[in-house]
Amino acid sequence: MLASWGRWVYRFRWWVVVVSVLSLVPAAWLAYEGGHLEAVAVVANSESARALDLMKKELPPSYPSFGLIFRSPSLKAGDPEFKAGVEQALAPLRGDPLVQSIRTAYDGAKLERRDISVDGHSMIATVEISDYGATQTRLAMKIYPALRARVHSDTLEVVAFGPLPSSYDLTVFAEKDAKQAEMRVLPLVGLLLLFVFGSFVGAALPLAAGLLAVTAGMAGSILLARVTPVLAFSKNVVVMVGLGVAIDYSLFILSRFREQVGLSPVAEALASTMATTGRAILFSGVAVAIGLLGMLLLGLGPVGSLGLAGAIAVLLAVAYAMTFIPGLLAVLGPRVDSLRVPFVNRDKTGRSGWFWPRLAIMVMAHPWKVLVSASLCLILLGLPFLHIRLGANVGAGLPRTAESRRGMELLRGEFRKVDTNPVIVVIRYPKSYTPLSVEHVEQLYDLSRRLAKLPGVNEVKSIVDLDPSISRGQYVDMFTPPTPPLPKGVQRILKEMVGENIVMVVVQTSLPEAGSKALALVRAIRESHPRVGGKLMVTGESAFEADFTDAVKKNSPLVIGFIVFATYFVLFLLLRSVLLPLKAVLMNMLSLSASYGALVWIFQDGHLATFLHFTPGPIESMTPIIMFCVLFGLSMDYEVILLSRVREEYERGCDNTRAVAAGLERTGQTITGAAAIMALVLFTFGFADITTVKEMGVGMGIAVVVDATIVRSLLVPATMRLLGDWNWWAPGSEGAKERRSRGAKERRSREAEKQRSREAEKQRSREAEEQGSKEVRK
């Protein structure tokens, strides 16, 4: 079937090339226009999300806000010049319809000391946004930057902080990382391709396919963002996966075509290439896409969009490798090696010189030694993974140049126990019960006092925390019928914190949102609290992070099982073997464990922190499972290409040992070049600004290097030598044996025919020599 596809592409080669190039126009327009991507992911059905929904339904809207720190090295907050500078900087916002209110330390009769730094040289102002119904994306990417741009001062330094500035910085730096990585890596990839192919024309083809796939993948992400929330990191995933896969697949097609075009006409060379390597990359692309789509099973909302965006990029890479590249090869034919690079001579037959055959012979001569030593090496590399700590490196995950990170560092370093991380407790009562019954008020009082004693809690705010001098009984008399006349301030608090069926309690803490102490506080509130007469739920930034981490741990086994089973099935269809897909899965697990160990050693333990410019901390909760989803299919690319070629040689009549040696010899140079390009693309992201992107780039780059060297060069030939003909066993495999037997007969027949031809040629040469001698004698 794919051979027929190759002939069809040859017949309509110009149409195929033109349509492929024209598809770039709408894709480039969409990529240029851009779209609104999400900076954070929320677990939709989690306790924290349900509590937030209840608050939105039953309580008055809370206005989103961001903070501003005004600083001066010489002036103090109480100085008239300092106050004048603050008022002048905030003046453009006071009449803005998007601003609900502005709170500063100067609002009262005297300075609010909690908003003044310890040294007195800094002050906090809070800006509330009136558009409380706006989405997080609109708030962070439209409203906040517009307001922030209007605040500036000639005498004071102004630094923003809070969730909105953090979301804005995260999105901006994620897009910047994707663009910078693409600009850095393309020239280096071009040089590597020149070295691999030895010609400018040959090197240009995979590079062109990579640009097409990335541009179309970006456009796909933007279209996806119009129907479902998509994380800002999706652009990084598209560049990481889309560019590397597109170049690799194009390189495999091109290498096989160069090998075939010297043996047969262009149309048949293209047909043979598509029937062999084309089939392999088709199955490989499906395996990679399956792994990426496994993210949807995590149930983490926008995180699944990373998998969708990556799968779109991979499928587009496969599409261009099966259309655009064959179309160009049909047009160019043997001219694909035009414009040779001086001093770079590459064998067009696909043979890889002496190294790979000798390596295969050495490995297969000592299979047990190689298998045990290589496996132990990978296990040792993976040992640091045993002490992994998951969390979110909030603030520290951004570069030091990010304003929001600097703002949070100033807030925690210069102010007295500022309440930067409110943990919100929501109690939902049955519909037939009032929140302000005698029993409920007494229980709420006991809960508040219990929460105030928990480690890390600065203050508790609720309707039973109005004044320390008010007793439990007095609160009951105040809020239960018959209710006495209440001051306006108390009425306002009741309206803000009590709904029809809920009561809200705010636990103020300055603990980092995703730190282990903040997560422990959330779990302590949930798991151990006095009787409250209803359902107690916790929300807030720390609660969101705790729910996110729990969801990853809960759903990861399902995701891993799905990807492993689906990948095994795809490889079984490709290789028609029971044991080879199982071996590939086990090898993948080993290479992944090594990359996880390196990830912990580098980013959690802090090695290479100075070189890669990051702050050590816990590994992002989503990084390991995202790496698994991407890598499980991606790191199989090279093994699929190798095993497909070994299968070809085996069906032609070679025994198991000769088939493995021939497969390594034919694919060694190509796979090494492809792995070097893929690793280069991934390692480029190690110099990104966002730590999460660094983690994914470096971790996946290490996995690709391990897979292309230790796994492909040592473990695969060693295990195949030990398994022997069992490599190729499958239910109903008698037909395969017959095909192999027939292939062996055909191979012997061809060799015999070649031998007869050589003997006939020698006979004709002898007869010609004898005839010539007779003529000389005459």
Q: What is the pLDDT of residues 467-494, one digit of tens each?
A: 888 888 888 888 887 777 888 888 888 8
Percent of the chain predicted with pLDDT > 90:
17
pLDDT at 518 over 80: yes
Would you say residue 744 has pLDDT above 60?
no
Read off the pLDDT of each residue in 626-644 and give the average, rounded to a whole number: 82
Express each pLDDT in 252-277 by its tens digit: 898 888 888 878 888 988 998 999 88
Q: What is the largest CA-CA distance in the chain?
A: 144
Average pLDDT, the chain: 83
Mean pLDDT of 615-623: 84
pLDDT per residue as tens digits for the range 341-351: 776 655 555 55
Q: Which two tokens stand for residue 386?
A: 């045993």
Amino acid at 68: L
Average pLDDT for 285-306: 85
CA-atom Rg of the chain in angstroms? 33
Among 754, 277, 314, 381, residue whose Cα is nearest residue 589: 381
Q: Which of 759, 640, 564 is CA-nearest to residue 277?
A: 640
Confidence at residue 748, expressed as pLDDT on a 0 to 100 scale: 54
Question: How confident is the model at residue 752, as a pLDDT?
Answer: 56
Burial 640-671 (b: 16+ CB within 10 A, else e): bbbbbbbbbbbbbbbebbebbbbbbbbbbbbb
Phi, psi of 439, rounded to the nearest 5 degrees: -60, -45
User: Once rounded to an integer, what is the mean pLDDT over residues 334-343?
Assistant: 79
pLDDT of residue 71: 93
| Confidence band of 193 (pLDDT split at 50, 70, 90) | confident
The Cα–Cα gap between 218 and 226 comes to: 13
Inform me whether the pLDDT recorded for 602 exceeds 90: yes
Q: What number is the average pLDDT over the span 9-30?
A: 85
Mean pLDDT of 660-680: 82
* Residue 641 · residue 667 · CB < 8 Å: yes
Q: What is the pLDDT of residues 543-567, one digit of tens each?
A: 988 888 888 888 889 999 999 998 8
Could you give the C-alpha distances from 202 to 18, 193, 301, 346, 458, in angstroms and in order?
Answer: 19, 8, 42, 11, 66
- Alpha-carbon distance values, 633 to 292, 321, 627 (Å): 8, 17, 10
Model confidence over 370-417: pLDDT tens digits? Answer: 889 999 999 999 999 999 888 766 555 788 888 988 998 888 888 876
Q: Are 138 and 389 in contact (CB under 8 A)?
A: no
pLDDT, mean of residues 190-206? 85
pLDDT at 426: 94
Q: What is the pLDDT of residue 733?
A: 56
d(CA 769, CA 685): 69
Distance CA 604, CA 615 (A): 9
Task: Indicate if the alpha-carbon torsion angle 768, 773, 774, 778 is positive or negative.
Answer: positive
Q: What is the pLDDT of residue 449?
A: 92
Instruction: Mark 3-37 as b/e (b = at least 16 C-beta within 10 Å).
Output: bebbeebbeebeebbeebeebbeebbebbeeebbb
Q: Which of 554, 655, 86, 648 is nearest to 299 (CA)?
A: 554
Res 187 pLDDT > 80: yes
pLDDT at 562: 92
Task: Indicate the pairing of strand 157-161 with strand 457-461.
Answer: unpaired
Model pLDDT, residue 319:
92
| Alpha-carbon gap, residue 602 to 608, rounded angstroms | 6
**Cα–Cα dist 164/160, whole Å:** 9
Q: Check whether 435 has a pLDDT greater than 80.
A: yes
> Of 303, 205, 185, whose CA–CA distance to 677 is shortest?
185
The H or E element that residue 105 is part of is: none
Does residue 736 carry a pLDDT above 60? no
- Please state at what angle helix 716-723 crosses helix 355-365, rounded to 10 degrees: 50
Structure confidence at residue 735 (pLDDT) = 46
Nearest alpha-carbon partner for 128 in 176, 80, 96: 96
Helices (H), 226-323: 234-237, 244-261, 266-273, 279-293, 303-322
| Number of C-beta neighbours around residue 689 at 10 A | 22
pLDDT of 440 higher than 50: yes
3-state secondary structure (DSSP) of residue 457? strand
Helix (H) or strand (E) holding 714: none
Q: Supply the pLDDT for residue 507.
A: 93
Q: Using one digit for the tens of pLDDT, what is the confidence trace for 226-238?
A: 777 777 778 888 8
Look at residue 757 in the predicted model and tell me its pLDDT: 61
Bridging pattern class, strands 99-103 and 457-461: unpaired
Q: Residue 523 contacts by C-beta under 8 Å, 6 or more apart in sequence? A: 546
Which phi and psi angles does 39 have, rounded to 5°?
Answer: -95, -25
- Cα atoms in the Cβ-side hemisphere of radius 13 Å centred on 330: 25
pLDDT at 775 over 70: no
Query: In the 8-state DSSP scheme, what is residue 603?
Result: I
700-717 confidence digits (pLDDT tens) = 899 888 888 888 788 888
pTM higher than the cut 0.95: no
Within 8 A by CB and 6+ apart from 611, the residues are: none
User: What average pLDDT does the segment 324-341 reach?
Assistant: 86
Residue of 38 and 131 predicted with greater confidence: 131
3-state helix, strand, coil in the chain (%, to 5): 65, 10, 25
User: Between 738 and 503, where is the model more confident?
Assistant: 503
Binned at pLDDT 50, 70 and 90, residue 598 comes out as very high
